[in-house]
């Protein structure tokens, strides 16, 4: 079991490291540019080439059924689910086969509304409650994967 983090704009990197350390799980922080991360032998910073979706491609090519992805990117979440992995957004929302289709459709609708000027693309701020929900969701995902063996 490994954790893959779409790290460029991820607000919960420290929380991922905390849970991974408790369970002794390797973490891949995947980014398009170098970033300072906590020094931890379980955590590896992966800097991919510049380009659209390079970090997403790196994660999607390596993630497997016993792994966990952390991303806010709906399309990456869909690719990870297709590979059999669990996927969690930074607010603690878990993506599943049951809800990913609706999430992709909503993403497309929001994109269309932004392009037509009907929406400015407001994103709510990240809250302490979001952080807490993420920690609980990640812990649940790790425990569920351990139970599966």
pLDDT score for 112:
65
Compute the distance between CA of residue 31 and CA of residue 35 in angstroms, rounded to an integer. 8
Three-state DSSP state, 78? helix
Return per-residue pLDDT of the chain as tens, 149 residues.
999 999 988 999 999 999 999 999 999 999 999 988 888 999 999 999 888 889 999 999 999 999 999 998 999 999 999 999 999 999 999 999 887 777 767 767 777 676 777 766 666 788 999 999 999 999 999 999 999 87
pLDDT score for 50:
81
DSSP-assigned letters across all residues of 22-40: HHT--EEEEESS-------
pLDDT score for 51:
81
Nearest to 9 by CA among 41, 55, 43: 55
For residue 20, count other CB atoms closer than 10 A to its CB: 22
Nearest to 89 by CA among 77, 101, 78, 80: 77
| Contact criterion met (CB below 8 Å) for 90 and 70 | yes
Compute the distance between CA of residue 142 and CA of residue 68 in angstroms, rounded to an integer. 8
pLDDT score for 106:
73
């Amino acid at each position: 079991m490994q954790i893959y983090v779409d790290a460029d704009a991820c607000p919960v990197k420290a929380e991922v490291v905390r849970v991974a350390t408790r369970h002794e799980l390797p973490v891949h922080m995947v980014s398009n540019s170098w970033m300072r991360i906590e020094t931890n032998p379980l955590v590896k910073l992966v800097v991919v080439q510049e380009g659209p979706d390079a970090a997403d491609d790196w994660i999607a090519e390596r993630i497997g059924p016993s792994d966990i992805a952390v991303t806010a990117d709906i399309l990456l979440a869909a690719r990870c689910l297709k590979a059999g992995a669990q996927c969690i957004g930074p607010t603690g929302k878990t993506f599943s086969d049951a809800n990913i289709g609706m999430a992709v459709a909503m993403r497309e609708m929001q994109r269309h509304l932004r392009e037509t000027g009907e929406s400015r693309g407001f994103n709510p701020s990240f809250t302490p409650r979001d952080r807490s929900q993420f920690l609980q969701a990640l812990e649940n995902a790790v425990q569920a994967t351990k139970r599966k063996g």
